Structure 1
């Protein structure tokens, strides 16, 4: 039980980190107006791509094929299968992370905002080419983002339920053991930590964490690709 709780909280923290990064990147890419800073454009588009794909892969590692099947069903457009949309974003992420690919090599101005034009991407061997599901990379990312979040939240329900089902006394004991094993923590700090863990405060913190994760998982404003 100890390891399950710790694992679930670590998962929650990791997912929330990726979602926070996505929110920051999405906000910034809507601000680019000519003349735009090319470095900042590359940074924030890359941040969006890598964190979006990372949170998807995070859930995929836990729930395997069931999650992928549900996600691909949501990602499907009238001209592209969900598998191809997911494959495009994944290979774009791989290119950015592993090969230094610049996803922002071309752009157009629409309604006064600089939007990156999406280019075809290949897998590492170059054997498979993924065409862009839309003209603008922003629209592809937004489509993936909007489609993925309800699926992610649905699959995380089990994790949420497991966290709140553990008695607070057991959680306090778990944290006590973690504190005791923290080698760099002074003994006086350990004693204070042991004597200052009210159950009510802990319960509020846990429920806030889950509530914050649900809030971050709400789909952004925008439209999916038809």
Structure 2
């Protein structure tokens, strides 16, 4: 796994979170049935992206996954909710309810300052359904806000302290990947374009990418 790939994936998830929140924040308390459906989609997308980002960094195949999980356990804590692992499991539980069980997060709520504040269940269960985790915040907008404040610090520290140590691909490795991709592609790239690309690499190698664009 290379540094560019990991950083690019982190960036993707962060952008997905930000875009879904921008859309959700565009609605007022005077919501139609369609508005509620849209809000359900945007908030569900936001929750799914948040948890997917943490699962990506915490996957056992990922470099420094143990360190990331330890940072979650110790750092994902709130006033009145000092157990980071329990809090994270609640967050995952809500995501599982929304994504895998069709839970409608727009089903309960009220209006505060002309904004819809959806209310989450006080407990969320594990995938097996045998363990229940207590909410660290039941109002969805506040839960997302509190979650992102904590996770932004944890993830940025993880990037700075660990992911920055990962190697980047060499030009030879990039060229080999491009050649393999062209060899395996049977539909997207026309044959004459493949020939042109391979001839260019034979003569010039791969084009260099300015550091600011990596």
The TM-score range, normalised by the shorter chain, is 0.7 to 0.9
Q: Does 1:20 align with 2:11?
A: no
Report the 3-state secondary structure (helix = DSSP H, G, I; strand = E; otherwise coil) of the residue aligned with 2:30: coil
In the TM superposition, what are the counterparts of 1:119-198 in structure 2 within 5 Å? 119-120=121-122, 121-157=124-160, 158-164=162-168, 166-184=169-187, 185-195=189-199
What is the number of equivalent residue pairs in this alignment? Answer: 202
- List gaps (5 residues or longer) in structure 2: none
Question: Quick one: which of 49, 56, 72 aligns to 1:58?
Answer: 56
The structure with the greater share of residues assigned to helix is 1
CA distance in 1, matches of 2:18, 2:164: 22
Contact kept, 8 Å, 1:75 with 1:143, in 2: the verdict is: no
Q: Check 1:70–1:159 CA distance in 2 against 1; reply closer, same or farther (3 A cut).
A: closer
CA root-mean-square deviation: 2.7
Give the unaligned 5+ runs of structure 1: 210-226
Provide the TM-score with structure 1 as the length reference. 0.76
- Per-residue deviation at 1:32? 2.1
Distance 1:186 1:56, change over 3 A: same
- Shift in CA distance, 82/181, structure 1 to aligned 2, threshold 3 Å: same
CA distance in 1, matches of 2:53, 2:13: 6
Decide whether aligned partners of structure 1 residues 129 and 111 sit closer, same or farther in structure 2, where only a CA change above 3 A counts: same
Alignment match, 1:79: 80
Distance in 2 between the 1:179 and 1:125 partners?
A: 43
